Amino acid sequence: MTETRLGQRKTKQRDTILEVIRSASGPLTVEEIHQRGQHDVPGLGIATVYRTLKLLQEAGLIETVILPTGETRYEPTELGHHHHFHCRTCDVVFDLDACPVEIPGGGSYPGGYIVEDHEITLYGTCPACHV
């Protein structure tokens, strides 16, 4: 492969992985990104996915989401304040639009606590898994 062809392949891998993350309905695991990316980039390796995720993160285009279970997922940085719903049946994590917390950043919690931010993950069953 020539330098140019190699460069083009790298750009394609990067664009594909970014598009996979941007078009998802919630933060994705490395395995999910790898699986979906293979549709556009046949033969895409897991090591390439890890390397590309690091580059996209350094470029400020994506960020990690660490769930209370300790699992790391990736989402675009352009999303505003939002929360996640983790389906225990299919293990998919969805973005939620509504914020169920009544004390926003800059508010105060009784007892003199100044609230700067919060993170919430809701657990349960997603619409597709209701029987």
DSSP letter string, 43-92 = T--HHHHHHHHHHHHHTTSEEEEE-TTS-EEEEETT--S-EEEEETTT--
Site string for Zn ion, 30-69 (x = CB under 5 A): ----------------------------------------
What are the structure tokens assigned to 99, written together? 């914020």
Instruction: Determine if 87 is a binding residue for Zn ion (CB under 5 A).
Output: yes
Q: Which CB sits closer to Zn ion, 79 or 101?
A: 101
93: its two tokens:
């994590």
Closest to 32 (Cα-Cα) out of 72, 59, 83, 80: 72
Show the binding pattern over residues 89-128: x = contacts Zn ion (CB under 5 A), - = does not: xx--------x-x------------------------x--
Binding site for Zn ion (CB under 5 A): 87, 89-90, 99, 101, 126, 129
